[in-house]
A and B are shown apart, each in its own frame.
Chain A
Amino acid sequence: MSAEFIAWLYASSLSTTIRDMLWVVPTVQSVHIIAIAAMFGSAVISDLRLAGVLAVDRPAREVIGRYYPWMRNALLVLLATGLIMIIGEPDRVLVNSTFWLKMALVLGAFSVAWSIRRPLLKPVAGAAPSEAIHPGIKVLAWLSIGLWCVVIFCGRWIAYSI
């Protein structure tokens, strides 16, 4: 991320407006946190089902299918609110290595989350297959939860790693 690009973005009218209207950043951050709750809550409930801890009487396919749209939509809100925060304060965010670590972890966490959900989201022809979950899936489900926790830590730490 070049210094010229960051300077250009900082000087843009959009960036200036976001910074000048003092209520925007705290409000956008609050929406970001609400979306974290929607995404992490959905992720944890469905990951705990895959780990065999919660709602084991319900078919995994149903639990995953119920919460995946919330995860995906919340992630879109997180990206949108995140983008507003980046545009508003590019000089603080884009030079911050904790921010870039967080972005890499978001990609990693979502890849793991997607990989364990994709087989259960595909429509099945005929009778539903047996619901036994491979032990590797349980490990990945716990890993997924752990990665999201690290993402949350990175998110908070951005402000402290100037």
Chain B
Amino acid sequence: MDIQSLLQTLQDTAIATLIRESDSGFPALESIHVIGIALVLGTIAVVDLRLLGVAAHRPGALRLIKELLPFTWLAFVTCVVTGVLMFMANATTYAENPMFLGKMGLLALAGLNMAIFHLGAFRRIHEWDTSLPPPTQARIAGFSSLALWTGVIFLGRWIAFV
């Protein structure tokens, strides 16, 4: 099955059709998506700012990360579930939308940035847990994360305008 027919199949599923044809389905998914976005960016920003040397509500970076990341993940899963459902409702159209494709690209880069941090500076966090400013690698990770997630939000909003 090629991509185009796969997208069409997704779009023709009962759930996708239900969302597309209901009055409140899409707005409800969007609203939950926004709540998820706010919590992903909101909690990630607290950690990223800490990586940049801006104090949070506790001095230790490791404990802060362990405390907030579960909320970030829960919010992210919410965004993925609502996002997939919205995508399915108009799969063929979104797949051709440059803003949507760009947003997916930035999401992948945000994930890569997180992976690099967790395999790099995070492994040695006991050395810099309460140091201000944190080491350069951590600061680069924090700045990149903020920039990428801001980009994700901008492209996400622009999907509807192109």
Seen from chain A, the residues whose Cβ lies within 8 Å of a Cβ on chain B are 22, 25-27, 29-30, 33-34, 36-42, 44-45, 49, 54-55, 57-58, 62-63, 66-67, 149, 152-153, 155-157, 159-160
The answer, yes or no, to whether B141 is at the interface (CB within 8 Å) is no
| Selected contact of B153 from candidates A30, A39, A149, A155, CB within 8 Å | A30
Binary contact readout B16-32 vs A (1 if CB under 8 angstroms, 0 otherwise): 00000001000110110
Complex interface residues of chain B between 49 and 66 (CB less than 8 A to chain A): 55-58
A152 x B38 contact (CB < 8 A): yes
Residues in chain A near residue B105, CB distance under 8 A: none
Task: Determine the distance from Cα of A58 to Cα of B57 in the docked complex, in whole angstroms.
Answer: 8
Known contacts A30-B158, A33-B153, A40-B35; is-contact A55 B42 (Cβ 8 Å): no
What is the interface of chain A mostly: helix, strand, loop, or mixed? helix
> Which residue of B30, B42, B67, B161 contacts A54 across the interface (Cβ within 8 Å)?
B67
B57, A55: Cβ atoms closer than 8 Å: yes
Q: List 24 A-B contacts (CB under 8 A).
A: A26-B158, A30-B153, A36-B38, A37-B37, A37-B38, A37-B40, A37-B41, A37-B45, A38-B42, A40-B35, A41-B39, A41-B43, A42-B42, A45-B57, A55-B57, A55-B58, A66-B55, A152-B31, A153-B28, A155-B34, A156-B27, A156-B34, A157-B31, A160-B23
Set of chain B residues within 8 Å of A67, measured between Cβ atoms: 57
Please report the C-alpha to C-alpha distance between residue A49 and residue B158 in the assembled complex, in whole angstroms: 35
Q: Which residue of A has the minimal Cβ distance to B155? A: A30
**What is the bound-complex CA distance between A149 and B157, given in angstroms?**
19
Please report the C-alpha to C-alpha distance between residue A57 and residue B63 in the assembled complex, in whole angstroms: 11
Could you tell me if B153 and A58 are in contact, using CB atoms closer than 8 angstroms? Answer: no
A38 to B41, CA, bound (A): 8
Contact A153 B161 (CB under 8 A): no
